């Protein structure tokens, strides 16, 4: 029986949009070794006063800044409320998914947990693509993306994948915690999809998302591989890229 070894490299990214205006304005520049953000200042004054005992940031000239509360609401108005103890972040467990040795007609699954902290943003979306179908450069063999039991699964359409005679590679998404949601296509526990194939110019697809702020919002991604007796032996790999984008 041929030895077929499969592994995935998981690549997380955070996408942030920057808007540029031609009008001359004063600005504050925030940076570290990973990023540089030029922050527009559309008010009368701002600064970062400090001494040996404290450091404070301030803005002046805003319209109605402050904290406003009532029985059923809380409003935080003003530029200073942009600061947060929970900056937007995105992380993934298990960056290198190793399926080990796969035998024909014996499906194998592995998982990654996607985590988003978006208390500094109104919501978020996480999209995904694959670099191409699972392939073995040494032999030229390919494990195709699954079409599920019915032969109708695509990167857009999910379907039941239960049969051990349905071959290929696919994934599903399940909510772990938070106010996010996975695609409604995965409401049935046996449903899977293909990852969009960037080598075929297929568009990235939303994996999970939320319109609410939250901390440690998580989704479980299940990867599944199944091969036939005719699959050439070899080591098969590809790269899965997840991109988290804050929404406002």
pLDDT tens digits along 80-102: 665 555 688 999 998 899 999 99
- Residue with the bigger pLDDT between 200 and 9: it is 200
pLDDT at residue 153 in the model: 96
Half-sphere exposure of 233 toward its Cβ, with a 13 Å CA cutoff? 4
pLDDT at position 175 over 60: yes
Same domain, 11 and 51: no
Same domain, 77 and 100: no
Would the pTM count as exceeding 0.75?
no
Spatial contact of 20 and 123, defined as CB atoms under 8 Å apart: no
Asked whether residue 139 is domain-assigned, the answer is yes
Range of the domain at 121: 4-16+88-247
Same domain, 140 and 237: yes
Band (15; pLDDT cuts 50, 70, 90) = low
pLDDT at position 1 over 60: no
Same domain, 235 and 123: yes
Last residue of a domain, one of 55, 82, 109: 82
pLDDT at residue 5 in the model: 78
Last residue of a domain, one of 65, 82, 99: 82
Highest mean pLDDT among 11-15, 34-38, 96-100, 176-180: 96-100
pLDDT at position 129 over 80: yes
Same domain, 107 and 66: no
pLDDT tens, position by position, 53-80: 777 776 666 667 778 888 888 777 766 6
Band (21; pLDDT cuts 50, 70, 90) = very low
pLDDT at residue 19 in the model: 42
DSSP state of 197: B
The domain tally of the chain equals 2
Same domain, 224 and 103: yes
Spatial contact of 7 and 98, defined as CB atoms under 8 Å apart: yes
pLDDT at position 150 over 60: yes
pLDDT (average), residues 26-32: 62
Asked whether residue 21 is domain-assigned, the answer is no
> 3-class SS at 200?
helix
Give the 3-state secondary structure of 62-111.
CCCCEEEECCCCEEEECHHHHCCCCCCEEEECCCEEEEEEECCCCCEEEE
pLDDT at residue 80 in the model: 65
Whole-number Å distance between alpha carbons of 239 and 248: 29
Same domain, 106 and 182: yes
Whole-number Å distance between alpha carbons of 84 and 90: 16
Last residue of a domain, one of 60, 82, 104: 82
Same domain, 44 and 119: no
Asked whether residue 128 is domain-assigned, the answer is yes
- Per the structure block, which two tokens stand in for 71? 């029985």
> 3-class SS at 26?
strand
Q: CB neighbours of 1 closer than 8 A, spacing ≥ 6?
A: 103, 104
Same domain, 148 and 216: yes
Same domain, 115 and 55: no
Band (216; pLDDT cuts 50, 70, 90) = confident
DSSP state of 148: T
Same domain, 61 and 110: no
Asked whether residue 74 is domain-assigned, the answer is yes
Same domain, 101 and 56: no
């Amino acid at each position: 029986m041929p030895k077929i070894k499969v592994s995935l490299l998981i690549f997380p990214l955070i996408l942030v949009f920057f808007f540029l205006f031609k009008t001359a304005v004063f600005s504050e520049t925030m940076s570290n070794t990973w990023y540089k953000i030029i922050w527009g200042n559309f008010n009368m004054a701002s600064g970062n006063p400090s001494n040996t005992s404290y450091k404070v940031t301030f803005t002046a000239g805003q319209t109605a800044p402050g904290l406003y509360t009532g029985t059923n609401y809380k409003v935080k108005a003003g530029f200073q409320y942009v600061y947060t103890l929970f900056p937007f972040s995105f992380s993934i467990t298990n960056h290198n998914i190793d399926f080990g040795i796969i035998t024909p007609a014996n499906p194998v699954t592995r998982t990654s947990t996607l985590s988003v902290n978006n208390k500094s943003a109104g919501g978020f979306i996480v999209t995904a693509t694959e670099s191409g179908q699972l392939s073995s450069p040494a032999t030229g063999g390919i494990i195709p993306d699954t079409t599920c039991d019915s032969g109708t699964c695509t990167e857009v359409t999910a379907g039941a994948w239960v049969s051990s005679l349905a071959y290929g590679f696919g994934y599903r998404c399940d909510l772990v915690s938070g106010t996010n949601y996975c695609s409604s296509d995965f409401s049935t526990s046996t449903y899977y999809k293909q990852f969009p194939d960037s080598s075929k110019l297929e568009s990235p697809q939303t994996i999970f998302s939320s319109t609410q702020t939250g901390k440690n919002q998580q989704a479980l991604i299940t990867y599944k591989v199944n091969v036939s007796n005719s699959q050439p032996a070899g080591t098969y790999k590809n790269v899965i890229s997840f991109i988290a984008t804050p929404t406002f």
